[in-house]
Amino acid sequence: METTKRYDVAIVGGGAAGLSAALVLGRARRRILVIDAGAPRNAPAAHMQGFLSRDGMPPSELLAVGREEVAGYGVELVDDTVTSLEQISGGDVCSPVEVAYRLHLAGGSAVDARRVLVTTGVSDHIPDLPGIRERWGRDLLHCPYCHGWEVRDEPLGVLGTNAGSVQHALLIRQWSSDVTFFAHTSELTDMECRRLDARGITVVFGEVARIVVEDDRLTGVELVDGRFMARTAVFVRPGIHPHPDGLLAGLGCHHDDTGFVTTDRTGRTSNPGVWAAGNVADPRAQVITAAGAGSAAAIAINNDLVQADTDRAVRTDHGLAPSRPQCEAAPRG
Ligand SMILES: Cc1cc2nc3c(=O)[nH]c(=O)nc-3n(C[C@H](O)[C@H](O)[C@H](O)COP(=O)(O)OP(=O)(O)OC[C@H]3O[C@@H](n4cnc5c(N)ncnc54)[C@H](O)[C@@H]3O)c2cc1C
């Protein structure tokens, strides 16, 4: 791939959000490149739940079908990692006609694009306890909407790790009446204890030593003092961070105080040629909502390019830049 290769839109990340955007933009006859590092967030899970008409499909299958669909519209797919993004020409917030970006890839090449959509997802930070990482997405779970039905009515545990853990336990109670809250490193207020008790959730105080696994199944939780509680699945609320650190900050995109990029409702960031969609902008997004956000961003990006193409055509025909009032009236997706 030569450095001069130029696309209408480069999409960084080929998960549900990125591929949905690519589908819309490919069908809009745009020249699109998707660069994907191949590590979607839900890869450890055997099944993807809650996606209407695809409930239970393996996550890898959804993406394989998606890649085939977008390739059918001429979208190019590259297996690589974007290491940095650079703005190489101007535009302004009102009329970003000439905005262009250069994307540097881990493989050593670079590509240019008029607009960039970042859909790189998040990384989940789970406690560093023996046995825990290997069970992630199998019987060490975080999202009851993704996994709750599959473990309904079973003896479940919830690991207390942060301020939201009690609320998490109250949520999990919706799927089973046998829930044990392991306080672990969290400190509970009297009111929190009363709320857990009122819902029949057992509270076990004391630090957790490890998740116990036998015959490739989680069988319980062992505390530092030696106690063992039999459980068949344990929920934990991970720390969630946009992935990878700093990719959007390099373009001056504003972030909120949790570290997530701020966007308008189409996914446009404070850099007018850069959009973000899916988990990287909204950590709560499920696969179906990440896909929807990618689709909405794609429509806004195409509208923006139509506007830019028209502005350029007007300038070429009349040697004029579009006036500010015209520009302000322009649709923004
Ligand atoms: C264990 C687990 C199970 C889950 N189960 C479900 C479920 O059953 N149902 C459900 O709706 N949701 C589920 N989710 C949530 C689901 O994973 C997310 O909603 C979804 O993956 C978000 O899609 P996305 O496109 O935003 O990000 P992702 O799917 O994470 O895709 C991001 C892509 O970008 C790539 N990437 C990252 N950085 C770069 C870079 N610098 N350059 C190039 N590519 C890059 C990644 O490798 C990845 O392929 C689950 C999550 C977890 C952790």
Residue 3 pLDDT more than 80? Answer: no
State how far Cα 46 lies from the chain centre: 18
Residue 239's pLDDT is what? 93
Cβ of 282 closer than 6 Å to ligand 1, yes or no, is no
**Closest CA to ligand 1's atom 2:** 42
Beta bridge partners of 156: 179, 233
Cβ of 121 closer than 6 Å to ligand 1, yes or no, is yes
Domain ranges within the chain, ordered by starting residue: 6-123+240-329, 127-237
**Closest CA to ligand 1's atom 38:** 120
Residue 150's pLDDT is what? 97
Cβ of 283 closer than 6 Å to ligand 1, yes or no, is no
- pLDDT bin (cut points 50, 70, 90) of residue 89 is confident
- Say what the pTM is: 0.93
Residue to probe by mutation, ligand 1, list 33, 35, 42, most atoms within 8 Å of CB = 42
Spatial separation of the C-alpha atoms in residues 181 and 156, rounded to whole Å: 9
- Domain 6-123+240-329 sits in CATH at 3.50.50.60
- pLDDT bin (cut points 50, 70, 90) of residue 60 is very high
- Is residue 64 within 8 Å of residue 57, measured between CB atoms? no
How remote is the CA of residue 39 from the centroid of ligand 1, in Å? 7
**292 token code pair:** 């929807």
- pLDDT tens digit sequence for 68-79: 999 999 999 999
- Shortest-distance atom of ligand 1 to CA 136: 1
**316 token code pair:** 């070429």
Residue 331's pLDDT is what? 42
Instruction: Mean pLDDT check: name the lowest of 215-224, 279-288, 313-322.
Output: 313-322
**94 token code pair:** 């009102």
How remote is the CA of residue 173 from the centroid of ligand 1, in Å? 26
Spatial separation of the C-alpha atoms in residues 85 and 162, rounded to whole Å: 33
- Is residue 190 within 8 Å of residue 166, measured between CB atoms? no
How remote is the CA of residue 122 from the centroid of ligand 1, in Å? 7
Average pLDDT over residues 204-225: 96
Spatial separation of the C-alpha atoms in residues 324 and 328, rounded to whole Å: 6
- Is residue 267 within 8 Å of residue 296, measured between CB atoms? yes
How remote is the CA of residue 104 from the centroid of ligand 1, in Å? 22
Spatial separation of the C-alpha atoms in residues 262 and 85, rounded to whole Å: 17
Half-sphere exposure of 276 (CA within 13 A, CB side): 27
Average pLDDT over residues 217-236: 98
- Is residue 305 within 8 Å of residue 147, measured between CB atoms? no
Q: Are strands 82-89 and 100-105 parallel, antiparallel or unpaired?
A: antiparallel
Alpha helices in the chain (DSSP H): 16-27, 59-71, 132-135, 144-147, 165-172, 190-198, 287-318, 324-329
- Domain 127-237 sits in CATH at 3.50.50.60
Cβ of 289 closer than 6 Å to ligand 1, yes or no, is no
**239 token code pair:** 């720390």
State how far Cα 248 lies from the chain centre: 14
Tell me whether the CATH fold assigned to 6-123+240-329 matches the one assigned to 127-237.
Answer: yes
- Shortest-distance atom of ligand 1 to CA 41: 30
Residue 94's pLDDT is what? 46
Cβ of 140 closer than 6 Å to ligand 1, yes or no, is no
How remote is the CA of residue 123 from the centroid of ligand 1, in Å? 9
Q: What is the mean pLDDT of the chain?
A: 92
- pLDDT tens digit sequence for 118-159: 999 999 999 999 889 999 999 999 999 999 999 999 999 999
